[in-house]
């Protein structure tokens, strides 16, 4: 198990309010492609218990509210059937959720984006900030060929390596942007003000396909699924069942999104209250680091399997975390 260098850890604190707010404001640049007051079709939002993806979701919803966008149609992987797809024809812009699934590690999400590109070759499409990783160059080139057929797709990437690949292969409209979760800094002020601060370390370590080989089987620390309580998982599962039913019936249900947004906001803030007092944090999850920074914790960050974490903070603030070398 990797251990942080305590001397360096004490030098890198989690209190960077001006920098965190600046990173959040930088995502306002998406308003150049998701026009203010426009009608948005919001696609592939996360309907699962990965808290990192839920933080991105809350950041995206914060942006839509700030940008005065209406969302007359939306769907996730479970309810994206024919009628839901057809409803995208009536919006001003199709917006695909951000995160770290642009590539071939999580193929269902990439296939969904390609399906949208093919179905709406002239409708503006925006990919919210993503990290890109393909394990196969052949797969990358096949996906890029699909994107190149579209005449108005804008792709936001969270690091320079992802940006370079996207710009060279996928689209002429590629932009660098921080993660949408940075928009939540002020939203977490009540948590920061009310948690009981402890000098009690917190470990959040990946145990999934992106876990680095030397900590995939570690028994120390928790992962996202471990810190969400059964009742919280059940609340999300109720929404998931609703979307599955909507998908089975091919009956778009736009009321799902606002109700789900309220649930996610409640669950994520409850989790933050439970873990926010711990300090320092040691994590191999990108949004473990970002959540720690939203809560002004000292963050010691190890990388994921392909370097996503180091790439991200190299782009947006090496002073924000202490990267643990392998």
Q: Taking the domains of the chain in order of start, what are their residue ranges?
A: 6-14+183-323, 21-182
Q: Give me the mean pLDDT over the 266-291 stretch.
A: 96
Helix (H) or strand (E) holding 175: strand 173-176
Q: What three-state secondary structure class fits 208?
A: coil
Residue 88 near residue 80, CB atoms below 8 Å = no
Q: Give me the mean pLDDT over the 69-93 stretch.
A: 96
- Tokens (6 digits) for 79: 């309810």
Residue % of the chain over a pLDDT of 70: 94
Residue % of the chain over a pLDDT of 90: 88
Residue 166 near residue 127, CB atoms below 8 Å = no
Q: Give me the mean pLDDT over the 135-139 stretch.
A: 96
pLDDT at 6: 40
Q: Rounded to the nearest 5°, which phi and psi values hold at 176?
A: -85, 135
Instruction: Quote the DSSP letter at residue 210.
Output: T
pLDDT at 213: 75
Per-residue pLDDT band for 22 (boundaries 50, 70, 90) equals: very high
Per-residue pLDDT band for 5 (boundaries 50, 70, 90) equals: very low
Neighbours of 151 (CB within 10 A): 12
Rounded Cα distance, 49 and 206, in Å: 14
- Tokens (6 digits) for 23: 């990173």
Q: Give me the mean pLDDT over the 100-117 stretch.
A: 96
Q: Give me the mean pLDDT over the 94-100 stretch.
A: 97
Which residue(s) pair with 260 in the sheet?
none
Q: Report CA Rg, the chain.
A: 19
Per-residue pLDDT band for 90 (boundaries 50, 70, 90) equals: very high
pLDDT at 14 over 80: no
pLDDT at 198 over 80: no
Residue 167 near residue 161, CB atoms below 8 Å = no
Q: What three-state secondary structure class fits 61?
A: helix
Neighbours of 68 (CB within 10 A): 11
Average pLDDT, the chain: 93
The model's pLDDT over 31-72, given as tens digits with 9 standing for 90+, comes to 999 999 999 999 999 999 999 999 999 999 999 999 999 999
- The CATH number of the domain covering residues in 21-182: 3.40.50
Report how many helices (DSSP H) and strands (DSSP E) the chain contains, helices first. Answer: 13, 11
pLDDT at 3: 42
Residue 295 near residue 276, CB atoms below 8 Å = yes
Rounded Cα distance, 178 and 31, in Å: 14
């Amino acid at each position: 198990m990797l251990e942080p260098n305590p001397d360096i850890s004490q030098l890198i604190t989690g209190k960077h309010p001006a920098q965190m707010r600046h990173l959040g404001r930088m995502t306002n640049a998406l308003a150049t492609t998701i026009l203010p007051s426009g009608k948005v079709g919001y696609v592939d939002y996360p309907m699962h218990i990965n808290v990192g993806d839920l933080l991105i979701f809350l950041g995206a919803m914060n942006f839509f509210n700030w940008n005065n966008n209406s969302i007359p149609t939306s769907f996730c992987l479970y309810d994206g059937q024919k009628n839901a797809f057809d409803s995208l024809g009536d919006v001003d812009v199709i917006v695909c959720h951000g995160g770290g699934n642009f590539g071939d590690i999580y193929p269902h999400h990439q296939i969904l984006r390609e399906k949208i590109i093919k179905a709406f070759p002239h409708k503006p499409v925006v990919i919210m900030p993503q990290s890109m990783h393909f394990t196969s160059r052949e797969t990358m080139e096949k996906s890029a060929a699909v994107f190149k057929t579209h005449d108005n797709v804008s792709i936001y990437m969270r690091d320079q390596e992802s940006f370079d690949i996207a710009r060279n292969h996928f689209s002429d409209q590629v932009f660098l942007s921080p993660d949408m979760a940075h928009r939540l800094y002020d939203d977490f002020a009540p948590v920061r003000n009310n948690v009981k601060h402890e000098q009690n370390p917190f470990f959040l370590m990946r145990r999934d396909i992106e876990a680095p080989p030397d900590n995939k089987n570690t028994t120390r620390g928790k992962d996202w699924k471990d810190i969400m309580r059964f009742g919280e998982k059940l609340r999300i599962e109720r929404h998931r069942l609703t979307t599955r039913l909507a998908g089975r019936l091919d009956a778009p249900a736009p009321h799902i999104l606002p109700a789900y947004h309220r649930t996610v906001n409640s669950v994520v803030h409850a989790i933050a209250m439970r873990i926010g007092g711990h300090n320092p944090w040691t994590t191999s999850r990108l949004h473990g680091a970002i959540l720690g920074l939203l809560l002004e914790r000292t963050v010691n960050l190890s990388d994921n399997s392909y370097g996503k974490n180091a790439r991200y903070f190299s782009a947006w603030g090496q002073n924000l975390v202490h990267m643990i070398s392998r």
